[in-house]
């Protein structure tokens, strides 16, 4: 981003003027992963699994707060005028994806904290007495934990889609100019989150469930990537050239090797064998999924900044 352009009516980040560094892909990746964790946590809470001592939903909200804070720090580091960042919360602009994202992030933290209070870790309850009191208040109403779970799912979906819509709203970059970036980044975030839970889950059945879920997420992600590329190559000359940058151009090796091969195809094969009990469950496939999710953001962000309408018109 390199600069936060704040106009009187529409606070936006203008990618056409500034080069984004590593901070933005990291922010988009961590935001998407936290979104997936919120959806998984909300699902477990809504299904009543928070009553079981070995449920990952007791740990995921804490991890989510840490990862989201790291992502927000990365985004803050990328801003040129950091002192003006607070202005994003002084107004709400319905036409600005950045404004939507700012307020969604503002709501995410309370829901993550409420999710922690449903089943706080023992070490946290021992050190902070207020945690136990608030947890007891939540459980006085049988419907409140479920409501928190539903809110976690809803905000997780909004956060995950927002990370893609933020790029898709910038029509100046043909590679980003697709409505499928929102669903793509949501599925990628879900896949990365499922991979993380697959690694840390203590319950064998839960580990199996997340491995099976990740197979579905990876398959859907691969399908959306295909639709996204088809949409580009069947559009304008600028979109075709933008697609060429990742299909056969300078970003093709990273895309085919790290995103498609290492990040999707290999984990998909390994986890399919694992759920069929032909190979043991290991952290290898989940780690590759997470790496592939991160590389997807780097490829899309970097290639998107290199794509523009002037190149196709022969003016650049």
Select from 125, 145, 170 the last residue of a domain: 170
Counting as low any pLDDT under 50, the low residues of the chain are 1-17, 315
Clarify whether residues 259 and 300 are in a common domain.
yes
Q: What is the pLDDT of residue 12?
A: 37
For 5, the enclosing helix (H) or strand (E) is strand 5-6
Dihedral pair phi/psi, residue 141, rounded to 5°: -105, 115
Clarify whether residues 102 and 200 are in a common domain.
no
- Residues 46-60 pLDDT 10s: 998 888 888 899 899
- C-alpha torsion sign, points 87, 89, 93, 96: positive
Clarify whether residues 316 and 232 are in a common domain.
yes
Clarify whether residues 97 and 7 are in a common domain.
yes
Clarify whether residues 107 and 215 are in a common domain.
no
Clarify whether residues 285 and 150 are in a common domain.
no
For 12, the enclosing helix (H) or strand (E) is strand 11-12
Clarify whether residues 145 and 237 are in a common domain.
no
Q: What is the pLDDT of residue 243?
A: 94
Clarify whether residues 20 and 162 are in a common domain.
yes
Taking the CB of residue 80, how many other CB atoms lie within 10 A of it?
11
Clarify whether residues 59 and 116 are in a common domain.
yes
With both helix axes pointing from N to C terminus, report the angle between 97-118 and 60-78 in degrees, rounded to the nearest 10.
150
Clarify whether residues 12 and 130 are in a common domain.
yes
Dihedral pair phi/psi, residue 255, rounded to 5°: -70, -50
Clarify whether residues 97 and 166 are in a common domain.
yes
Q: What is the pLDDT of residue 121?
A: 82
Q: Which residues contact 296 (CB under 8 A, 6 or more apart)?
A: 29, 188, 259, 263
Clarify whether residues 142 and 37 are in a common domain.
yes
How many domains does one find in the chain?
2
Range of the domain at 267: 174-316
Select from 132, 148, 170 the last residue of a domain: 170
Q: What is the pLDDT of residue 301?
A: 94
Select from 114, 147, 170 the last residue of a domain: 170
């Amino acid at each position: 981003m390199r600069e936060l352009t704040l106009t009187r009516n529409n606070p936006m980040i203008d990618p056409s003027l500034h080069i984004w560094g590593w901070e933005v892909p990291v922010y988009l990746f961590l935001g998407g992963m936290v979104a997936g964790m919120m959806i998984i946590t909300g699902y477990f809470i809504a299904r009543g699994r928070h009553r079981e001592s070995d449920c990952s939903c007791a740990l995921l909200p804490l991890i989510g707060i840490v990862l989201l804070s790291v992502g927000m720090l990365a985004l803050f580091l990328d801003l040129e005028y950091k002192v003006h960042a607070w202005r994003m919360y002084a107004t709400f602009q319905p036409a600005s994806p950045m404004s939507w994202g700012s307020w969604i992030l503002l709501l995410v933290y309370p829901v993550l904290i409420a999710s922690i209070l449903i089943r706080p870790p023992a070490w946290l309850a021992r050190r902070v007495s207020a945690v136990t009191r608030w947890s007891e208040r939540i459980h006085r109403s049988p419907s409140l934990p479920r409501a928190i779970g539903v809110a976690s799912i809803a905000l997780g979906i909004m956060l995950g889609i927002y990370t893609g819509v933020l790029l898709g709203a910038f029509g100046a970059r043909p590679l980003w100019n697709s409505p499928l970036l929102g669903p793509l980044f949501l599925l990628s975030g879900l896949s990365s989150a499922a991979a993380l839970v697959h690694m840390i889950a203590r319950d064998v059945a839960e580990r199996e469930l997340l491995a099976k879920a990740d197979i579905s997420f990876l398959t859907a992600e691969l399908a959306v990537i295909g639709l996204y590329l088809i949409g580009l190559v069947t559009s304008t000359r600028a979109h075709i050239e933008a697609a060429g940058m990742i299909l056969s151009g300078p970003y093709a090796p990273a895309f085919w090797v790290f995103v498609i091969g290492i990040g999707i195809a290999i984990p998909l094969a390994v986890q399919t064998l694992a759920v069929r009990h032909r190979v043991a469950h290991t952290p290898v496939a989940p780690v590759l999924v997470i790496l592939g999710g991160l590389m997807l953001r780097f490829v899309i962000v970097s290639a998107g900044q290199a794509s523009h309408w002037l190149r196709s018109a022969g003016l650049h």
